[in-house]
Structure formats: structure tokens, C-alpha cells
């Protein structure tokens, strides 16, 4: 058996905690969210090397993924590990369960030369209004149990527990009037009291893109940082961008509970590059670069002048082609890098590199693609496209997407190829009853990129996806009838 020993002794933890506490402002930085819901996964070691090459020092995981954590060992990167919402009930019910989780996902990795786990996120947006309160009863008991379990292994002072919240947890017409939703007042009071007593920040996810996407009356320039003709005046304060307005709404809500000085971390923030109107490379670069420059300028906000968020975690690092599209078909395109670790646009993270650097040593499948056979009658292709897009990702074909204007045959070819690459270029996966054919000529058209999959030897050759779990009808009929 391997003996896992704490990285710090109980005695040395005190000095470390004091050091960390005294340098929080100096450590404030830009981190990234590393999501793994992809059909074409890069090796975790490749992703960690990508982070190091780009000098990213903070990363947030949505679960305690063993492959990611093992790859992060010895990297020096500070890590936030997530506990999924569906685990909250079991962790809230038993300290045996929380002890086991901490032992398997924290103590195991926090050894000499191991992983520097700074935060554990207990749930992810558990108070989201669309959840109708289903996770609320479990949040505080789970927090208390996990905290107790961390104390047993002498990490309660070093590893901070947080609960990432969606910005819909609070509301107001003006930032200064911000308040948590009435039904959340009691649990938020308990939560922020817990966070305050344990030296933890409040973690919030802010998405100006979603405000713009969901409201046709939302002024577009207010979502960015270049100035606006729709500034919001709130007493003596004037807001020139949605991010500051949202942030100060949270500050006001915390103030109403008596915790107006609580440190705030932005757990998720970003802009998608494809799959919908307004989701494109130009807008994503403008938003993310504007945000980074704004936060790192230390200007702060009207309610917190000179005090920016402790940290921001961009969402996300890589595109995730297996994410649900129920919130919108842009969901699979949040990455600052494409699925294969290639930078989508120039971006200065403020971490030393002036522009993003691509992943190295990516192992691609052979340079071949599956396209519609031009010598066949394609009138019976609809069901084949449904099959392909119910399993693979066709969201770039949607209205506003980068492949929306490539025509009917182009749509067919894109769908066929997406399925073919997902199946690791299995010969039979390009048959489609004789309607498909393999080509060695790249069929990409303009900004519409026909992908070639990556050869991740650590994963199975095919990961089945239940077709009924993806609303393919919304995807297929949206672009199919727009070109037929």
C-alpha cells in the first residue's frame, strides 16, 4: 500500500495560512475552468502542459477527475476541485461519506510533490432558480460535513470550501438595491456566515453574454468594456458595463446580510465563439480581453473602488462538444482554445505571455474526412443526418454559427464528418447507406472548420451517447429547412 502523508504538518499549517492570508491581493490572477465534457479529449498531461506554457497558475475543475488531478501533481498550479450537485445529498447525510470523499479526492493528492488544492467547490450553482430548490436542503449539511472531514486530516485551514452561485441568486433594478432572492435569504445568511468564519470567498458566476442572448432589449455595447451609450446611473455611481453592475449588485446583497467586505471570486465568466448570433471570435476576444484588462487594472467597481475580484476563472479552457445544448447551442463553444488545444484568437491573459500558445504534441487522427458522396441521390439523407447529429456535435450549423452558410450539401458533409471523427474514423461510420465517402482533401470552407479528431489512447474508441438526451430536433430542423 502507498502511504499518503499530508503535505503540511499541523504546526506548519499556521505559518502557511498566515502567509497566504497576507498575500491574497498579490496572488489575485486570471485562472481557467477546465471542463471535460468532450468527445475528443486531449490527454490530461497535454492540457496541464498547455496551462504551464501559458503560465496559468489557477484552474477550476467541476469534479475530482482522477486523470486531471494526477496530471496536475507537481505542476504548482493552484486547484479548485468541484463536488457535483448530485453528490450533495449523500455528503450531507453522512460524515462517513464526506470522510471517504476527502480521503479519495483531497488527502490522496496533497502529498509532497502533489496537487496544490486551494478550494473545494461544494456543488455548482445549487441555488439556480431552474432547480426549484431541489439541492438547497443539502448545501449547508454537506458543507459542515466536508469541513469536519478536512479538519480530521489537518487541511481545514488550508483548503477553503466555497459554493459557486449563479448570478440569478440575487436581483435588483439598480446595483445599490441588490438583494438575494427572498426564498434564499435564510440559507444565504447561513452560507455567508460559514464562509466568513472560515476565511472563504463568495464565488459567483457572471455571464453578460447570457443577458444579451436572452433579452433583445439588452444594449449590446453595455456587455463589453469599451464604453457604452447606455450607461446606468445609480445615485452618485455610473456603470459603463454589465460586469461591474452585476458585481456590485452582489456586493449590495452581501452588505444587506452584514458581509459587505467579503472577498469575491468570479468562478465563471466568458464569451462563446460559435453556435448562436453574437457568439463569435471577434466578440469573444473583445469581451475576454476587456475583462482581463479591467480586472487587472485594479480599478475595482463603484461600490469597491480599488478592490477588484480576488480571482477570475475564465470559462472555459477548451470547447466541450459533449455538453448539453438545452441552455443554447453556444454551450459547446466557450473555450479560449478549441477542443484540440489550438488558440482561437489572440488573448493576453496578463500572466507574462502576450498571446496564447497552442498545445504541443497533440496526436491527431489521420488527415481524412467523411463527406456527402456527390455521385449519389441525397434526397433520403434526412434520417442519416438525424442520426449523425444526435450523437456528434453539429451546433456550428445553427443560425449564427460559423458553418451556417455552407449550403445543403455542406451541411450533410459536416454532419457526416462530425460523426465519422467521433467514431475515430471507423470505416463503417462513413457509409450512411452509400451516401458518404472518405476524402483526403480538407473540405473546410472559410471559417467553417471540418475537424479531425484527436487520438487519445487513454479513452475508449467510442463513447456511446443516448440520442434522446440531446434535443437534436432543435438542431437539425433549425438549419436543415433554412437551406432546403
Helix or strand (DSSP H, E) at 372: strand 369-372
Strand partners, 31: 313
Other CB atoms within a 10 A radius of the CB of residue 468 amount to 8
Q: How far apart are CA 295 and CA 315, in angstroms?
A: 15
Q: Which three cell numbers stand for residue 303?
A: 461600490
Q: How far is CA 13 from the centre of its chain?
A: 31
Strand segments (E) across 184-328: 202-205, 232-234, 237-239, 264-269, 300-301, 304-305, 312-314
Q: Which three cell numbers stand for residue 128?
A: 439556480
Q: How far apart are CA 102 and CA 93, in angstroms?
A: 15
* Eight-class DSSP state of 257: T
Helix or strand (DSSP H, E) at 81: strand 78-83
Contacts of 379 (CB under 8 A, 6+ apart): none
Catalytic residue list contains 268: yes
Long-range contacts of 375-383 (CB under 8 A, 24+ apart): 376/434, 376/435, 378/408, 378/409, 378/412, 378/435, 380/433, 380/435, 381/412, 381/432, 381/435, 382/480
Determine which one of 3, 125, 171, 320 is catalytic: 125
Q: How far apart are CA 381 and CA 414, in angstroms?
A: 13
Q: In Å, how far are 83, 165, 166, 242 from 162, measured between CA atoms?
A: 10, 9, 13, 24
Other CB atoms within a 10 A radius of the CB of residue 383 amount to 10
Q: How far apart are CA 5 and CA 15, in angstroms?
A: 19
Q: Which residue carries 443560425 as its cell?
A: 399
Q: Which residue carries 489550438 as its cell?
A: 342
Determine which one of 27, 183, 226, 268 is catalytic: 268
Residue 149 backbone phi and psi in degrees, to 5: -70, -35
Q: How far apart are CA 88 and CA 83, in angstroms?
A: 8
Angle among Cα 177, 178, 180 to the nearest 5 degrees reads 135
Other CB atoms within a 10 A radius of the CB of residue 183 amount to 12
Torsion from C-alpha of 163, 168, 173, 175, nearest 10 degrees: 30
Q: Which three cell numbers stand for residue 294?
A: 479591467
SS3 170: strand
| Whether the Cβ atoms of residue 159 and residue 121 lie closer than 8 Å to each other | no
Q: How far is CA 463 from the centre of its chain?
A: 22
* Eight-class DSSP state of 422: H
List the catalytic residues: 125, 268
Amino acid at each position: 500500500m502507498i502511504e499518503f502523508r499530508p503535505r503540511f504538518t499541523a504546526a506548519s499549517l499556521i505559518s502557511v495560512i498566515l502567509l497566504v492570508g497576507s498575500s491574497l491581493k498579490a496572488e489575485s490572477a486570471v485562472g481557467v475552468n477546465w471542463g471535460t465534457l468532450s468527445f475528443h479529449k486531449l490527454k490530461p498531461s497535454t492540457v496541464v502542459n498547455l496551462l504551464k506554457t501559458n503560465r496559468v497558475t489557477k484552474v477550476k475543475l467541476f469534479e475530482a477527475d482522477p486523470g486531471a488531478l494526477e496530471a496536475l501533481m507537481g505542476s504548482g498550479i493552484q486547484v479548485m476541485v468541484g463536488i457535483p450537485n448530485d453528490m450533495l445529498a449523500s455528503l450531507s447525510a453522512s460524515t462517513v461519506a464526506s470522510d471517504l470523499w476527502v480521503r479519495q479526492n483531497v488527502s490522496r493528492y496533497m502529498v509532497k510533490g502533489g496537487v496544490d488544492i486551494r478550494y473545494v467547490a461544494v456543488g455548482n450553482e445549487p441555488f439556480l432558480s431552474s432547480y426549484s430548490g431541489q439541492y438547497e436542503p443539502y448545501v449547508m449539511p454537506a458543507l459542515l460535513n466536508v469541513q469536519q472531514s478536512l479538519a480530521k486530516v489537518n487541511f481545514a485551514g488550508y483548503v477553503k470550501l466555497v459554493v459557486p452561485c449563479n448570478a440569478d441568486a440575487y436581483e435588483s433594478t439598480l446595483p445599490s438595491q441588490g438583494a438575494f432572492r427572498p426564498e434564499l435569504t435564510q440559507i444565504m445568511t447561513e452560507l455567508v456566515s460559514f464562509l466568513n468564519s472560515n476565511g472563504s470567498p463568495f464565488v459567483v458566476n457572471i455571464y453578460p453574454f447570457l443577458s444579451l442572448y436572452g433579452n433583445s432589449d439588452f444594449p449590446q455595447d453595455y456587455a463589453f468594456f469599451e464604453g457604452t451609450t447606455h450607461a446606468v446611473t445609480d445615485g452618485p455611481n455610473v456603470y459603463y458595463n454589465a460586469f461591474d453592475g452585476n458585481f456590485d449588485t452582489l456586493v449590495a446583497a452581501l452588505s444587506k446580510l452584514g458581509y459587505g467586505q467579503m472577498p469575491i471570486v468570479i468562478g465563471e465568466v466568458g464569451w462563446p465563439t460559435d453556435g448562436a448570433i453574437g457568439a463569435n471570435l471577434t466578440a469573444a476576444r473583445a469581451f475576454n480581453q476587456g475583462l482581463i484588462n479591467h480586472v487587472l487594472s485594479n480599478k475595482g467597481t463603484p461600490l469597491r473602488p480599488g478592490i477588484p475580484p480576488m480571482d477570475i476563472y475564465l470559462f472555459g479552457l477548451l470547447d466541450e462538444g459533449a455538453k448539453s445544448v438545452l441552455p443554447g447551442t453556444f454551450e459547446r463553444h466557450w473555450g479560449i482554445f478549441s477542443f484540440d488545444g489550438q488558440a482561437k484568437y489572440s488573448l493576453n491573459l496578463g500572466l507574462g505571455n502576450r498571446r496564447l500558445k497552442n498545445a504541443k504534441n497533440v496526436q491527431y487522427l489521420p488527415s481524412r474526412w467523411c463527406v456527402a458522396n456527390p455521385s449519389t441521390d441525397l434526397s433520403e439523407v434526412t434520417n442519416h443526418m438525424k442520426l449523425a447529429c444526435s450523437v456528434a456535435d453539429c451546433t456550428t450549423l445553427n443560425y449564427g454559427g460559423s458553418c451556417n452558410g455552407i449550403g445543403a450539401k455542406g451541411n450533410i458533409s459536416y454532419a457526416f464528418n462530425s460523426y465519422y471523427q467521433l467514431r475515430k474514423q471507423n470505416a463503417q461510420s462513413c457509409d450512411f447507406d452509400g451516401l458518404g465517402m472518405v476524402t483526403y482533401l480538407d473540405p473546410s470552407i472559410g471559417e467553417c472548420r471540418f475537424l479531425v479528431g484527436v487520438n487519445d489512447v487513454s479513452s475508449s474508441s467510442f463513447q456511446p451517447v443516448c440520442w434522446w438526451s440531446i434535443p437534436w430536433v432543435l438542431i437539425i430542423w433549425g438549419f436543415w429547412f433554412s437551406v432546403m
